[in-house]
């Protein structure tokens, strides 16, 4: 199942059509990405909303399981790792709901869709009610998406920086103001095994499953 209502889907489709008419974007935009949660998600004991940056395509629901099980990218390897260590069901979303056919949306294109994407992200969180949000897009041009969607900032009133002894940095925020706990980390691609171990450990702690 996709992760948001028909009204928002229609608005997103209309935004895609409008942007695709602009000369600088025409023919370069990927189809809108609606997010995905398996049918078992709502009934799972542990639910993770896993958020990336953008995607160049919008897979059909029936393709999701094959993608989850078979993709060798660091993004999906870390997703599988989280599910194995936490026993979670995982829903997939992106900060940018309209990607580009090559690369990721640049700062200008991200800004064009930010208001729409923030509304969708808030609705996804409300609809899915995850136990934990894991966003693997820290320190990118999309940081403001996270601040706005989660109504927070880094610092004492928001995300807490968690450097380890090797100065590998990620950020966490415990459950607050109706939002579940959040792990905000850099993308797993080309990250050291120590960094990924550290991120997994923080995810377990936020879920109350920390290893003693």
Show the domain range for 101.
6-206
Residues 6+ apart with CB under 8 A from 139: 186
Distance CA 39, CA 144 (A): 31
Residue range 106-118: mean pLDDT, rounded: 95
Residue-wise pLDDT for 29-68, tens only, equals 999 988 888 888 999 999 999 999 998 866 555 566 666 6
The answer to whether 113 touches 15, Cβ cutoff 8 Å, is yes
Domain-embedded: residue 135: yes
Question: Scanning the structure block, which residue is given the tokens 């997994």?
Answer: 200
Distance CA 88, CA 106 (A): 32
The answer to whether 142 touches 95, Cβ cutoff 8 Å, is yes
The three-state (H, E, C) secondary structure of 134-168, written as one string: EECCCCCCCHHHHHHHHCCCECCCCEEECCCCCCC
What token pair was written down for 152?
């927070």
Domain-embedded: residue 212: no
Question: Scanning the structure block, which residue is given the tokens 């993770």?
Answer: 48
Domain-embedded: residue 199: yes
CATH number of the domain to which 77 belongs: 3.40.470.10
Q: Is the pLDDT of residue 108 over 60?
A: yes
Domain-embedded: residue 61: yes
Domain-embedded: residue 211: no
Q: Is the pLDDT of residue 86 over 50?
A: yes
Q: Is the pLDDT of residue 3 over 80?
A: no
The residue among 112, 121, 138 whose CA lies nearest residue 33 is: 121
Query: What is the count of structural domains for the chain?
Result: 1
Distance CA 183, CA 16 (A): 30
For the CA atoms of the chain, what is the radius of gyration?
17
User: What is this structure's pTM?
Assistant: 0.92
Domain-embedded: residue 1: no
Distance CA 202, CA 139 (A): 18
Confidence label for 81 from pLDDT (cuts 50, 70 and 90) = very high
Mean pLDDT value across the chain = 88
What is the greatest pairwise CA distance in the chain? 56
- Higher pLDDT: 109 or 163? It is 109
């Amino acid at each position: 199942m996709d992760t948001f209502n028909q009204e928002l889907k229609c608005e997103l489709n209309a935004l895609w059509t409008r942007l695709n008419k602009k000369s600088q974007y025409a023919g370069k935009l990927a189809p809108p990405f609606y997010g995905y949660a398996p049918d078992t998600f709502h009934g799972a004991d542990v639910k993770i909303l896993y958020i990336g940056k953008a995607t160049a395509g919008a897979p059909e629901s029936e393709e999701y399981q094959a993608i989850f099980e078979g993709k060798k990218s660091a993004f999906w390897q870390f997703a599988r790792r989280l599910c194995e260590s936490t026993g979670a069901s995982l829903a997939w979303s992106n900060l940018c709901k309209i990607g580009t056919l090559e690369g990721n949306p640049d700062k200008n294109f991200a800004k064009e869709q930010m208001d729409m994407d923030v509304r969708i992200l808030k609705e996804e969180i409300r609809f899915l009610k995850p136990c934990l949000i894991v966003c693997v897009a820290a320190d990118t041009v999309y940081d403001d998406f996270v601040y706005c969607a989660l109504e927070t900032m880094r610092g004492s009133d928001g995300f807490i920086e968690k450097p380890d002894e090797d100065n590998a940095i990620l950020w966490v925020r415990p459950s607050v103001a109706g939002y579940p706990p959040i792990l905000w980390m850099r993308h797993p691609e080309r990250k050291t095994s120590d960094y990924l171990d550290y991120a997994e450990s923080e995810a377990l702690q936020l879920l109350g499953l920390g290893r003693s």
